[in-house]
């Protein structure tokens, strides 16, 4: 294993310290590194808190700031944060509007966020994301996995919170965005968890994993590597075939898993966009880049959100975080 | 070779098409894909044009837009664009203020940009970047190589152009920023050029290449892999030892080569920052992420610019490009 690190016990803390120092205008580290929070809070606004295992950066700490999250709780690599972390984050950033947890659907995360919600004194609601169409149940999940669509939920709900929406409205909006969002991923290579020291899975030089999870969990099937157009066609079949309706304005989000050149991501975007237009969608908004990664895994996911006017408006609203910035 | 592509002859064009579609609010493709240009030009402003081999994305097309470049000319992967491309770009975006070429110091690029300058009818000046302290001459270079510091030059000169500086002032500023900037890289793995189909260099599971170039060119030496703190110490020794003076405000820029997890980049940033502070610098500005890549290579470079007030002011000025955005 070759990584830029000093030791498996310190990699997360050293990285978070660097992150908070590099973005000190936006974020500060919470006590004992339990969470990363906004440097400045807005009184009375419902607090948006997310979190999950580390190794998916910039998710979630990269989305803390105006227009998105108030705090993010980083677990160890690919390991849920603890209820203690979520509770500490909630206590630090709740300013009278209650707390909305945004949780990716993995058993550990769901259980720990639920426990934190039960321990909380104030109002807490939760949006659970499960946008991955690849598999119904998985290594760490009952039901579908929450993957890159989580960023779309965080952006749109974050903008609504900034605009003054109350806790119940944010919960409803988050559920609606999640329901309008589908994703699927493909892996060309594995990733290596620092504490494991070896690749999470073995894959041949001529194989790809269709429907891979963001922890390297198995997807739908292992198939021979093939041209990007054919890979994208399979992914878009799965994504678009899962919607109840088709056509209309869509957000097209091509997400790199960490080890994929930008050149390839834009090529995938180009193919996915052509397919959407052929199927009667208009690509109304776009996002291309590394937003929900799996360490250094090569591959990408495609996310499509069927946008309504409210969602599109919130997508366009100003945001100022380490990983996403617009309009300010 | 596993890449998300359809063929080596089409990868660049399909990717550029996707890029221009995803960022149609900012850029448009020039005739025959010879260049990427701003969607809207500012009359009378000197035109800033850069370019170079592809495979370093987001450099350079990702920096086309308000506050940075007016056009970027993409060559084939790791291959200089042709004079024809630069000339076409200049004709498309020159609006009365002359043309400033920003060129990384590689023989092919230097020759082709010079040829384009000679063929041009209007005023043309060139800023040559050569911030890489690793080696004096290299596989493709006489003198030092231009690497990630080029982004710093493009940002600061771009802001000055937006603020109304004339061509000669921009040339002088660009030279001054380059002279205040030093970089050095390290590779953990090789990259694979699509047309070659195999890794550019072989490297053992326990080796790293100190001072690697952004095309995978050899650096200073191949050494056994070691803790990040020791790697960063070597890089910072080389960078800081090369300045004529020390201390004062600095921009610290940790650049990923394409295949490096963000977690590791922030850890490197943390170590480099500590070293700067120990040596009497203040880290006045920071940038961390994939900005000048080598396809999917794992590793990173560190860039330090000794900032004066003028440079810092321009660094903070609004910018709106695909890869860098602030204040608008």
Q: Give the DSSP H/E element, type plus range, for residue A228.
A: helix A228-240
Q: Where residue A285 falls among pLDDT bands split at 50, 70, 90?
A: very high
Q: Where residue A180 falls among pLDDT bands split at 50, 70, 90?
A: very high
Helices (H) and strands (E) in chain A, counts: 8, 14
Candidates A261, A268, A296; nearest CB to B260:
A296
Per residue in A9-38, is it b (16+ CB within 10 Å) or e — as a string?
A: eebbebbbbbbbbbbeebbebbeeebbbbb
CA A299/CA B199 separation, integer angstroms: 18
User: Which pLDDT does position A140 carry in this prediction?
Assistant: 84
Q: Give the DSSP H/E element, type plus range, for residue A213.
A: none
Q: Do B258 and A262 touch (CB under 8 A)?
A: yes
Partners of residue B11 in chain A, C-beta under 8 Å: 263-264, 267
Q: Which residues contact B244 (CB under 8 A, 6 or more apart)?
A: none
Peptide bond into A58 cis (omega under 30): yes
3-state secondary structure of B152: helix
Partners of residue B328 in chain A, C-beta under 8 Å: 327
Q: Is the pLDDT of residue A139 over 90?
A: no
R_g of chain B computed on alpha carbons: 19
Which of B18, B57, B63, B202 would best serve as a mutation to test chain A binding (most A beta carbons within 10 A)? Answer: B18
Partners of residue A268 in chain B, C-beta under 8 Å: 4, 18
CA B68/CA B74 separation, integer angstroms: 16
Q: Which residues contact A5 (CB under 8 A, 6 or more apart)?
A: A11, A14, A194, B227, B228, B264, B267
**CA-based nearest distance B289→chain A, Å:** 9
CA B124/CA B118 separation, integer angstroms: 9
Q: Are A171 and A179 in contact (CB under 8 A)?
A: no
Tens-digit pLDDT string for chain B (328 aa):
999 999 999 999 999 999 999 999 999 999 999 999 999 999 999 999 999 999 999 999 999 999 999 999 999 999 999 999 999 999 999 999 999 999 999 999 999 999 999 999 899 999 999 999 999 988 888 899 999 999 999 999 999 999 999 999 999 999 999 999 999 999 999 999 999 999 999 999 999 999 999 999 999 999 999 999 999 999 999 999 999 999 999 999 999 999 999 999 999 999 999 999 999 999 999 999 999 999 999 999 999 999 999 999 999 999 999 999 999 8
**B104-131 confidence digits (pLDDT tens):** 999 999 999 999 999 998 999 999 999 9
Token pair 């016990």 in the structure block, residue: A9
The length of chain A in residues reads 328
The predicted complex's ipTM stands at 0.98
Q: Tell me the backbone φ, ψ of residue A179, rounded to 5 degrees.
A: -70, -20
Per residue in A260-273, is it b (16+ CB within 10 Å) or e — as a string?
A: bbbbbbbbbbbbbb
User: Which pLDDT does position B137 carry in this prediction?
Assistant: 84
3-state secondary structure of B315: helix
Going from the N-terminus, what domains does chain A have, and what CATH number goes with each? 11-179 (3.40.50.10440), 182-308 (3.30.1180.20)
Encode A32-43 in three state secondary structure: HHCCEEECCCCC
Q: Give the DSSP H/E element, type plus range, for residue A71.
A: strand A71-77
Candidates A14, A55, A300; nearest CB to B267:
A14
Q: What angle do CA B274, B277, B280 make, to 5 degrees?
A: 155
- Strands B248-256 vs B299-306: parallel, antiparallel or unpaired: antiparallel
Q: Do B227 and A189 touch (CB under 8 A)?
A: no
Across chain A, what does the average pLDDT equal? Answer: 97
Prediction pTM value: 0.98
DSSP summary character for residue B88: H
Candidates B6, B231, B258; nearest CB to A4:
B231
Cα-Cα-Cα-Cα torsion A75, A79, A83, A86, nearest 10 degrees, comes to 40
3-state secondary structure of B289: strand
Partners of residue B283 in chain A, C-beta under 8 Å: 21
Q: Which residues of A are catalytic?
A: 56, 215
């Amino acid at each position: 294993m070759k990584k830029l690190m000093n030791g498996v016990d310190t990699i997360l803390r050293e990285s978070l310290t660097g992150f908070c120092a590099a973005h000190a205008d936006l974020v500060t580290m919470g006590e004992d590194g339990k969470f990363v929070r906004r440097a400045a809070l807005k009184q009375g606004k419902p607090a948006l808190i997310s979190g999950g295992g580390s190794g998916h950066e910039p998710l979630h700490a990269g989305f803390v700031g105006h227009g998105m999250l108030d705090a993010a709780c980083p677990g160890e690599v690919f390991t849920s944060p603890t209820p203690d972390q979520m509770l500490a984050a909630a206590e630090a950033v709740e300013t009278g509007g209650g707390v909305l947890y945004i949780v990716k659907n993995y058993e550990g995360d769901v259980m720990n966020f639920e426990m934190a919600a039960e321990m909380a004194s104030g109002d807490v609601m939760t949006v659970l994301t499960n946008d991955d169409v690849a598999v119904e149940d998985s290594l760490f999940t009952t039901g579908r996995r929450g993957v890159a669509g989580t960023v779309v939920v965080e952006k749109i709900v974050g903008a609504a919170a900034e605009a003054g929406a109350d806790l119940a409205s944010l919960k409803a909006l988050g559920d609606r965005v999640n329901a309008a969002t589908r994703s699927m991923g493909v892996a060309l290579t594995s990733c290596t968890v620092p504490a494991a020291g070896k690749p999470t899975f073995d894959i041949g030089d001529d194989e790809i994993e269709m429907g891979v999870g963001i922890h390297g969990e198995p997807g739908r099937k292992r198939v021979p590597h093939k041209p990007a157009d054919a890979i994208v066609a399979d992914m878009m079949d799965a994504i678009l075939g899962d919607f109840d309706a088709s056509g209309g304005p869509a957000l097209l989000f091509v997400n790199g898993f960490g080890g994929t050149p930008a050149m390839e991501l834009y090529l995938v975007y180009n193919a996915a966009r052509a397919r959407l237009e052929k199927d009667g969608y208009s690509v109304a908004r776009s996002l291309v880049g590394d937003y929900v990664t799996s360490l250094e895994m090569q591959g990408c996911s495609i996310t499509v959100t069927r946008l309504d006017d409210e969602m599109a408006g919130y997508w366009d609203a100003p945001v100022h975080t380490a990983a996403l910035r617009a309009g300010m």
